[in-house]
């Protein structure tokens, strides 16, 4: 059933509206006026095909909650309970009166993200770009020049080591056997954790021969448990077959993979995680997914953001990034500035400028190319002030949704910063005018005149 429309109800005659409780000049209240909320009611309408049952949550409430979550870097639970305490957050989400109870359960956000999908969250990013235009954060000509770069969005996994992965695989197998009522010959609940601990201690002591011997014993133990369950697969109920196949396949990958193999498994609960090397001295390897970021050349507003599963070469992702920027903004950029990682990348109809290029580079272009590094602090802000540093959403779909939402949160923080700065300038101007008025009144009093 479609979302319910809120209106005046019985019992609200003596309640004070939120507009009378909050300051209308607050940046968050001004931001709520800049966003076109009707976009979500129009574009998310196909998500409610049925006309029966309980009315769905209003689209503005869901869009406002997702905006607030990625603007202020909150978890699902912290977001909902802060919403109950903050009248400005409730006004931003379209409430008329102050609410004392949570609007939805925190788990509903997970279902809403899946329902919206990647195309739905891109509308959230598009609405922030339009709001930035209204707030004069960017100009219409700002979309002609963009900066494109890639970064790594790490997944919520522990650092993968062979001993830890094998022990986790054995634990999954033992839990699966208990759930299905399978009697194992031996579960190695005492021996396997001790072997995993020995591997780490031997590696710390640089006793690599002993480390390899303990790791080989641990792999043998896990293989025995795996074969014990594999032999009894025929006696299992058919409804458990997908779950059993998934666990057995992943543990088999752990047992077969070698140190220098490609497409290794780094996490049992997140098999889509990849090992990405970005050349950082402090962190040689990052485990997650590569993300492409497109920002305006001058202001640093995010105009495109997308996850890139499979760890592709940066130069092969430029065309997809430009395509997304064109779709979201209804305007194709004329010039794109990239780093040396995009060697040989070309996009029809777009001039690509790369660090180190000298042929045909004027003095102004040299300055523009030098400013390409301005995208790096924007990525840093999204990781430190937003939620880009660690992704807690599940699967490849979670990676795609989280990347776009982090870009939308960054844009809203920029708009709020502009509104706060504008408010501070107005206050300074009013103080200066009041001081000037006070000095003029004092001058009239000393001269023998009394101002009305």
CATH value at residue 347: 3.30.420
Quick one: 378 and 278 in the same domain? yes
Pick the closest to residue 32 from 412, 423, 422 (CA basis).
412
- Domain interval for residue 97: 18-131
In a domain? residue 422: no
Quick one: 313 and 383 in the same domain? yes
Q: What number of CA atoms fall less than 13 Å from residue 103's CA on the CB side?
A: 27
In a domain? residue 221: yes
Quick one: 182 and 247 in the same domain? yes
Residues with Cβ within 8 Å of residue 446, at least 6 apart in sequence? none
Quick one: 283 and 384 in the same domain? yes
Residue-wise DSSP of 373-393: GGHHHHHHHHHHTSS-SEE-S
In a domain? residue 408: no
The 3-state DSSP class for residue 304 equals strand
Quick one: 221 and 283 in the same domain? no
In a domain? residue 7: no
Domain final residue, candidates 340, 371, 392: 392
Q: Compute and round to an integer the Cα radius of gyration of the chain.
A: 28
Residue 91: is it exposed, middle or buried by C-beta count within 10 angstroms (0-12/13-18/19+)?
A: buried
pLDDT of residue 39: 92
Quick one: 375 and 280 in the same domain? yes
Quick one: 382 and 290 in the same domain? yes
Quick one: 120 and 107 in the same domain? yes
In a domain? residue 406: no
Q: How far apart are CA 383 and CA 391, in angstroms?
A: 10
**How many separate domains does the chain show?**
3
Domain final residue, candidates 392, 421, 442: 392
* Dihedral over Cα of 119, 121, 124, 129: its sign: negative
Quick one: 301 and 252 in the same domain? no
Q: Which residues of 293-303 are buried (b: 16+ CB within 10 A; e: fewer)?
A: bbbbbeebbbb
pLDDT of residue 158: 92
Looking up tokens 């409780």, which residue turns up?
Answer: 21
In a domain? residue 267: no
Quick one: 203 and 341 in the same domain? no
Put residue 73 in one of left, alpha, beta given phi > 0 → left and psi -120 to 50 → alpha: left
Quick one: 312 and 351 in the same domain? yes
pLDDT of residue 234: 82
Quick one: 111 and 245 in the same domain? no
Q: How far apart are CA 353 and CA 345, in angstroms?
A: 10
β-strand pairing of 390-391 with 351-354:
unpaired
How far does Cα 185 stand from its chain's mean position?
45
Per-residue pLDDT of the chain (452 residues; tens, 9 = 90+): 566 555 555 556 678 888 888 998 999 999 999 999 999 989 888 877 667 777 778 899 999 999 999 999 999 999 999 999 999 999 999 999 999 999 999 999 999 999 999 999 999 999 999 999 999 999 988 999 999 999 999 999 999 999 999 999 999 999 999 998 889 999 999 999 999 999 999 999 999 999 999 999 999 999 999 999 999 888 888 888 889 999 999 999 999 999 888 889 999 999 999 999 988 888 899 999 999 999 999 999 999 999 999 999 999 999 999 999 999 999 999 999 999 989 888 899 999 999 888 777 788 888 999 999 999 999 999 999 999 999 999 999 999 999 999 999 999 999 999 999 887 777 788 888 888 777 665 554 444 444 44
Q: How far is CA 323 from CA 36, 303, 351, in A?
A: 24, 11, 14
In a domain? residue 269: no
Q: How far apart are CA 8 and CA 6, in angstroms?
A: 7
Q: How far apart are CA 208 and CA 211, in angstroms?
A: 5
pLDDT of residue 185: 93
Domain final residue, candidates 392, 416, 441: 392
In a domain? residue 73: yes
Each as own residue / partner, the long-range contacts of residues 132-136 (CB below 8 Å, 24 or more positions apart, any chain) are 132/301, 132/411, 132/414, 132/415, 134/34, 135/31, 135/34, 135/415, 135/418, 135/419, 136/418
Residues with Cβ within 8 Å of residue 105, at least 6 apart in sequence? 80
- Is 168 in contact with 254 (CB distance < 8 Å)? no
């Amino acid at each position: 059933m479609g979302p319910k429309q809120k209106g005046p109800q019985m019992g609200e005659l003596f309640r004070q509206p939120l507009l009378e409780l909050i300051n209308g000049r607050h940046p968050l209240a001004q931001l709520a006026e800049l966003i076109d909320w009707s976009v979500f009611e129009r574009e998310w309408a196909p998500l409610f095909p049925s006309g029966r049952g309980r009315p769905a949550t209003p689209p503005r409430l869901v869009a406002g909650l997702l905006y607030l979550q990625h603007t202020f870097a909150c978890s699902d639970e912290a977001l909902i309970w802060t919403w109950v305490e903050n009248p400005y957050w409730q006004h931003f989400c379209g409430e008329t009166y102050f609410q004392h109870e949570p609007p939805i359960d925190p788990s509903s956000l997970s279902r809403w993200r899946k329902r919206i999908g990647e195309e739905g969250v891109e509308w959230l990013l598009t609405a922030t770009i339009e709001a930035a235009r209204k707030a004069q954060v960017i100009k219409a000509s700002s979309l002609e020049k963009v900066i494109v770069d890639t970064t790594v969005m790490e997944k919520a996994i522990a650092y993968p080591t062979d001993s830890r992965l094998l022990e986790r695989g054995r634990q999954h197998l033992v839990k699966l056997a208990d759930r299905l009522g399978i009697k194992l010959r031996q579960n190695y609940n005492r021996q396997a954790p001790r072997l995993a601990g020995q591997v780490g201690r031997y590696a710390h002591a640089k006793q690599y021969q002993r480390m390899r011997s303990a790791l080989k014993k641990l792999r043998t133990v896990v293989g025995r448990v795996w074969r014990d369950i594999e032999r009894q697969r025929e006696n299992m109920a058919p409804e458990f077959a997908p779950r059993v196949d998934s666990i057995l396949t992943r543990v088999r990958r752990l047992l077969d993979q070698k140190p220098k193999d490609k497409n290794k498994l780094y996490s049992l609960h997140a098999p889509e995680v990849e090992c990405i090397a970005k050349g950082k001295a402090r962190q040689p390897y990052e485990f997650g997914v590569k993300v492409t970021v497109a920002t305006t050349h001058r202001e640093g507003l995010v105009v495109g953001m997308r996850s890139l599963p499979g760890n592709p070469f940066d130069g092969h992702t430029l065309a997809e990034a430009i395509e997304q920027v064109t779709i979201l903004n209804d305007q194709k950029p004329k010039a794109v500035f990239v780093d040396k990682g995009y060697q040989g990348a070309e996009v029809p109809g777009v001039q690509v400028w790369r660090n180190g290029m000298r042929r045909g580079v004027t003095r102004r272009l040299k300055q523009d190319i030098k400013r390409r590094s301005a995208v790096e602090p924007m990525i840093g802000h999204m990781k430190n002030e937003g939620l880009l540093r660690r992704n807690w959403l599940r699967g490849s779909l979670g990676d795609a949704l989280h990347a776009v939402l982090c870009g939308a949160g960054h844009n809203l923080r920029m708009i709020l910063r502009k509104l706060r700065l504008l408010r501070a300038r107005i206050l300074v101007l009013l103080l200066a005018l009041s001081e000037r008025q006070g000095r003029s009144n004092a001058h009239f009093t000393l001269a023998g005149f009394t101002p009305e």
